Amino acid sequence: MSLYCGTACRRKFFWCYRLLSTYVTKTRYLFELKEDDDACKKAQQTGAFYLFHNLAPLLQKSEHQYLAPQYSLLELERLLGKFGQDSQILEDSVLIGCSEQQEAWFALDLGLNSSSSINASLQKAEMETALQGSFIKLTKALFELNVKDASLLSTAQALLRWHDTHQFCSRSGQPTKKNVSGSKRVCPSNNIIYYPQVAPVVITLVSDGTRCLLVRQSSFPKGMYSALAGFCDIGESLEETVRREIAEEVGLEVDRLHYSASQHWPFPNSTLMIACHATVKPGQTELQVNLKELEAAAWFSRDEVATVLRRNNLSNQQQSGAVPFWLPPKLAIAHQLIKEWVEKPTCSPLPA
């Protein structure tokens, strides 16, 4: 059928064209790939693959940052062939996004002992040499990636980890089967569908109007302070989690709170960090720190925090020893929350 079959059709075409932005087209394409195994297999033919080994992404060092190389299906098949493997391992790949030109992006782990046993024999060091890169832990590399790669590799790692740890049905004990895109797993014996898990976590910067509350856990890197965080309990609203966590960890009551932004966070598992600002009731600022949860908590003035934000570079601090503490790096939502508070002292919070 011709594209321009008449006035009505032409009008419809232009209407659709105007309505469907690149973003919408891309989103609907990804939706199709998640739902339709054949469409997803077809997309692999022209797609690009990011490689992992035991959940560590393959990276190449370039000047001051890491780059994540992409490989075509053909390149990947050649690589697997070179190592004496067949391409069955490609069935373990997961869809992680697509370009504006609808080139689908996948991630594949060459080192996990998944359903495909051939993984086990792949030699990490030999692969690194062949690929001219290194498999580097994401905890180490995340802050030296550009925003796009950081987000893609975090998603990829979370999804690969979920598949690796959810290979059996918790009702029947039978192996579950991944769909082509990796958006779900199904138990063939009872048709229960499992979807990748994300745990909601609230992260709150508490203020008393002039100072903000920063805390540290013993597991934090030395000297780092952050905003107060906690997992949502089942049955709670976000507001209830914020109130409970603040009461539990530092013994304060929230007066007002408002939402700021959110972020997927891959460590230690997949969490959705929901960032809020909160103020405490006037005159009720005395901290009762729960030492089972926190190592320390303290109020800091805007000037102190602004100074630390400006000098928030670990190596400089270690050299000078002048800065008493440091804050999470730019990519972490805690950093954004703290920066927002320093820069917008007059933002008016909504009642909780």
Binding site for Mg ion (CB under 5 A): 229-230
How far is the C-alpha of 14 from the C-alpha of 288, rounded, in Å? 63
- Minimum Å gap between C-beta 266 and ligand NAI is 9
Write the CB contacts of 42 (distance below 8 Å, at least 6 apart in sequence): none
DSSP-derived 3-state class of residue 118: helix
Using the rule CB under 6 A, is 332 a contact of ligand NAI? yes
Q: Which residue has the tokens 């709170």?
A: 257
Angle formed by the axes of helices 37-46 and 73-82, nearest 10°: 80
Q: Which residue has the tokens 């909780």?
A: 352
Interface characters, 276-315, with ligand NAI (x: CB under 6 A) = -----------------x----------------------
- Minimum Å gap between C-beta 42 and ligand NAI is 36
Using the rule CB under 6 A, is 333 a contact of ligand NAI? yes
Q: Which is nearer to ligand NAI, 92 or 149 (CB)?
A: 149
Q: Which is nearer to ligand NAI, 18 or 222 (CB)?
A: 222
* Among the residue ranges 100-108, 138-146, 179-187, 330-338, the one whose residues contact ligand NAI (CB under 6 A): 330-338
DSSP state of 172: T
24 binds, among Mg ion, ligand NAI, none (CB under 5 to 8 A by kind): none
265 binds, among Mg ion, ligand NAI, none (CB under 5 to 8 A by kind): ligand NAI
Write the CB contacts of 237 (distance below 8 Å, at least 6 apart in sequence): none
332 binds, among ligand NAI, Mg ion, none (CB under 5 to 8 A by kind): ligand NAI
Using the rule CB under 6 A, is 267 a contact of ligand NAI? yes
CA distances from 300 to 123, 215, 252 (A): 50, 10, 16
How far is the C-alpha of 171 from the C-alpha of 152, rounded, in Å? 32
Write the CB contacts of 200 (distance below 8 Å, at least 6 apart in sequence): 231, 232, 238, 241, 271, 272, 274
- Total residues contacting ligand NAI (rule CB under 6 A)? 17
Put residue 300 in one of left, alpha, beta given phi > 0 → left and psi -120 to 50 → alpha: beta
| Proportion of the chain in helix, strand, coil states, percent, rounded to 5 | 40, 25, 35
Interface characters, 156-195, with ligand NAI (x: CB under 6 A) = ----------------------------------------
195 binds, among Mg ion, ligand NAI, none (CB under 5 to 8 A by kind): none
Using the rule CB under 6 A, is 265 a contact of ligand NAI? yes
> Which residues would be at the binding site for ligand NAI (CB under 6 A)?
199, 201, 203, 226, 229-231, 265, 267-268, 271, 273, 293, 328, 332-334
